[in-house]
Amino acid sequence: MNTVQLKKGQKIFAWVFATAFLFPTVGAASIDAGLDWQPVVSESLIRMPAKYLNSSIERDFQKSTLASGLSTLETQLMTEVSKMQSMMKNLKTVEGEANAALRHDLLLAKSNYLELMSDKQSLKKRALNKKSGVYQKVLSTLQQKRLLASDPVSASLVASQKSARERMNRVVADVDELLLQNPFSKVSSYQKEYGVNLAKIEQLKQAINKHKGSENPILNGQTLNREQYIRFLQSNVESDLALLDQEQLMLGYMAKLVALDAQSLEHELEARGNDGPLTKPLAQARLMNTVDLFLGQ
């Protein structure tokens, strides 16, 4: 890059930094609105063992355009970082105009990096908000189901069903006896197989309860139920969002620093003049320096 191009770019440079990066949200407008993730809170997700819930949501996210956009940005950021590192290394070895040009390039790289980082944070925030929404929806569905199951009408129905079962169980033997006495009746296959199947069902139930997939997640030695675990996942997302806010503040400060560097470079180059070295201040025409001119004639 030559010096003329360098000078033209300076004012725009400082302006871009002073506006876009002091307010990171303005920079977010450049993100492709097509990058999205539409998670669905299905019945299977709600019924899924709690310990697999997070990985299932994460897998769904990885399939989205939002995740691929984030991954692309991550690659671009790494490229910018390695570019900046190599420039920083070279900066110590060059002097004069080449040094100024390299500093300018470094500022451009920093600008790109900050812009990409701002985009990344915006996408990450979108993803975290969506994730938080999913957890919230699962949690409210579970709470709704729990409330429905414990409402007075359902509770009275469950009670009447329980007492009906007990009442029927008391006469099952009498009914079976009646069946044997009835000349038109014979023992049905349902009755023959029910007892056998019942024993098998009990075995299956026990196997399900013992299966490690049915185990509730354990956190710090404490077993969490489904609702507690989802609340824990939700609080993790909220922590990530809070950290992201903090990172956005850092980004703003970094942008301000780059803007100051750009301004400083601009002033330095202006002071140097068109052809390079800095203009020395004019020597003052002092009276005492001219005294000799008036003596000795």
Which residues here bind another protein, judged by CB under 8 A?
43-44, 47-48, 59, 149, 154, 157-158, 160-161, 164-165, 167-168, 170-172, 174-175, 178-179, 182-186, 188, 190-191, 194
Cβ of residue 68: shortest distance to another protein, in angstroms? 18
Max Cα distance, the chain (Å): 160
Which amino acid is residue 245, in one-letter code?
D
Beta bridge partners of 218: 223
Query: Which 3 state secondary structure label does DSSP give 189?
Result: helix
Give Cβ neighbours of residue 30 (< 8 Å, ≥ 6 apart).
Answer: 115, 119
Beta bridge partners of 219: 222
**Do the Cβ atoms of 112 and 80 come closer than 8 Å?**
yes
Which amino acid is residue 107, in one-letter code?
L
Cβ of residue 218: shortest distance to another protein, in angstroms? 22
Cβ of residue 269: shortest distance to another protein, in angstroms? 57
Cβ of residue 247: shortest distance to another protein, in angstroms? 33
What does the block give as tokens for 137? 């929806």
Residue matched to tokens 């908000």: 129
Cβ of residue 40: shortest distance to another protein, in angstroms? 13
Sign of CA dihedral 100, 73, 251, 8: positive
Specify the residue, 33 or 172, whose C-beta has the smaller distance to another protein: 172
Which amino acid is residue 66, in one-letter code?
L
Specify the residue, 9 or 49, whose C-beta has the smaller distance to another protein: 49
Specify the residue, 55 or 140, whose C-beta has the smaller distance to another protein: 55
Specify the residue, 197 or 246, whose C-beta has the smaller distance to another protein: 197
What does the block give as tokens for 160? 């009447």
Cβ of residue 268: shortest distance to another protein, in angstroms? 57
Specify the residue, 33 or 180, whose C-beta has the smaller distance to another protein: 180
What does the block give as tokens for 224? 């969490």
Nearest Cα neighbor of 135 from 29, 30, 41, 58 is 41
What does the block give as tokens for 165? 């079962």
Specify the residue, 168 or 249, whose C-beta has the smaller distance to another protein: 168
Specify the residue, 12 or 168, whose C-beta has the smaller distance to another protein: 168
Q: What are phi and psi of 295, to 5 degrees?
A: -95, 155
Cβ of residue 177: shortest distance to another protein, in angstroms? 9
